Structure 1
């Protein structure tokens, strides 16, 4: 098979110009979501998703479609890669290896639990992995990273949209309920922070729940949450290897999925550099902020590509599996902290 001819400079310029209308729409939605979230306390990811769905007719316009597609794919991968700057060696050192082991085991078991019960809820492996990975790791960000490597079909966006909505709603409920539970269990602030960081899905809700207890609980919860974010790389790499071995989704030119997705390699590389102290603060801070904006823009783009009726097609069983995975994770972490005390 002959290689496709390389793009000339005018071709590249024309392609870049074709992305502008769609990217402007995605950017406006991300800005609006952030503004509303800051002023009214709603989850920015959920707002971006809902605003995008409400304006999904724009994705039918041939002028905006290329930029929206670019936002849902390439911008997503950039956002996940930049998440690596939030990881440092201090995360592991300050928590201790017992907590690290608990989080690693909880991640693996929650994903395994998702696969085990998926058939009971009427789902196959794709939604099982997507939902359980989002619950086990870091909510909407993990869902988008996992969706980026899963074999695509006509329900891929539908599964992603519902997972993002589901984990965001469950995370918001947990932000309110879990601080009360930790007080009822008689845990100290550090244990409460560990529980919240290891069980609440999204970073913003982890911070909100942790600091609602105390500063110590807030700091601990944030560190544990970053440890869960770190689990994103090995989980995606292992899943990518399995998909590649099965050759489920050859690319359009007859190849196979890459051994390690480029965005995962970027995530790991940035995490290693930051852990070694090789990334100065004037790089880390803007890169971390850029990651958040990229993921917000990406989920807005996914929303723009989604027909509202698609969400309803997932059905109540999808709510059941997300809730079951969430309860499993909370019970496992709670038992781990209780017996470790």
Structure 2
């Protein structure tokens, strides 16, 4: 490597380090608070980040915060592929797979229509619908990375992450009560929880609070929903291309590199050659990348901007969540 290249790398590292280190410190604080108080780590990361939004202005931290909110986010999404194996899906049979596909497609479709009816862009409906239907905050961040640039995109992403994190925590408490009230079998309860709760951590918490069988089933069904992230990202990228170049004049790739990484890791993980310790390490790295990046996203916004969104986005996300529960219960009743 030439001296010029080394100099550029050194210069770029010095430019990005302050913002990245601040984001990492916020993420560590959010993780500590989450472990001790039980609330979603993503929510803590957002709130702490927003408290430090003055750092994202012109200054030493700006470049690093921008890099963390964009590139580190994409790395975290790509690493999510290590959670998926084909064997996990085959073990439950075709019905849960069909249910997951129907749930994701219908929920996002209804969300897009509902967003348009409420006066929002269809892409906001895809963002909130994808977060509700797939895997909560992780899906919101992944879809935001694939959707076209827009002046309101970051605010919409942050609002979606806050909303879906709060609703996921509420669901973790309420949905097991619904499963007990409906007298669902352990496996049916697992399918219900895995197909409706937004975030993976809350699915695990709700499932294993009922029984081991319910927790195992809920986790696998949830991971099936996570696997739907790839085709949805591809669809989002195709929509971006159809809408033309972004304001910077760049035409987005049909398949973003982080989606390719997601698919490759899912295929590698399905071979069974990956040691559990490696899987755990990659999953933990993915979690940290997402938490660090959302800390940076929090620093790039202000509470007064989120307060200005009004009641309609809240109603949209509540409606999507209720619709998802009703749809899953109907599909289970029809023998899916």
Query: Is this a same-fold pair by TM over 0.5?
Result: yes
Q: Is the 8 A contact 2:97 2:224 kept in 1?
A: yes
RMSD of the alignment, in Å? 1.3
- Distance of 1:184 and 1:242 partners within structure 2: 42
- Distance of 1:239 and 1:120 partners within structure 2: 20
- Distance of 1:73 and 1:255 partners within structure 2: 16
Deviation at 1:25, TM superposition (A): 0.5
The residue number in structure 2 matching 1:9 is: 6
- Distance of 1:159 and 1:201 partners within structure 2: 17
The residue number in structure 2 matching 1:3 is: none
- Distance of 1:95 and 1:51 partners within structure 2: 40
Deviation at 1:316, TM superposition (A): 0.8
Structure 1 segment 57-68 matched on structure 2, within 5 A = 57-68=54-65
The residue number in structure 1 matching 2:328 is: 333
- Distance of 2:36 and 2:328 partners within structure 1: 33
- Distance of 2:76 and 2:270 partners within structure 1: 19
The residue number in structure 2 matching 1:89 is: 86
Deviation at 1:37, TM superposition (A): 0.7
Q: Is the 8 A contact 2:113 2:122 kept in 1?
A: no
Which whole-Å deviations, capped at 9, do the CAs of 1:170-214 have from their partners, x for residues lacking one?
A: 111111111011111111111111101100001111111111111
Q: Structure 1 stretches (4+) deviating beyond 6 angstroms? A: none
Deviation at 1:283, TM superposition (A): 2.4
The residue number in structure 1 matching 2:305 is: 310
- Distance of 1:91 and 1:249 partners within structure 2: 39
Structure 1 segment 1-341 matched on structure 2, within 5 A = 8-249=5-246, 252=248, 254-340=249-335
Which whole-Å deviations, capped at 9, do the CAs of 1:61-111 have from their partners, x for residues lacking one?
A: 510111111110000000000000010122212221111000001100000
- Structure 1 residues not aligned, in runs of 5+: 1-6
Q: How many residues align?
A: 333
Q: Is the 8 A contact 2:186 2:213 kept in 1?
A: yes
Which SS does the other structure have where 1:8 is aligned? helix
Q: Is the 8 A contact 1:121 1:320 kept in 2?
A: no
Deviation at 1:248, TM superposition (A): 4.5
Q: Is the 8 A contact 1:240 1:259 kept in 2?
A: yes
Which SS does the other structure have where 2:46 is aligned? helix
Q: Is the 8 A contact 2:20 2:68 kept in 1?
A: yes
Q: TM-score by structure 2 length?
A: 0.96
- Distance of 1:276 and 1:249 partners within structure 2: 39
Q: TM-score by structure 1 length?
A: 0.95
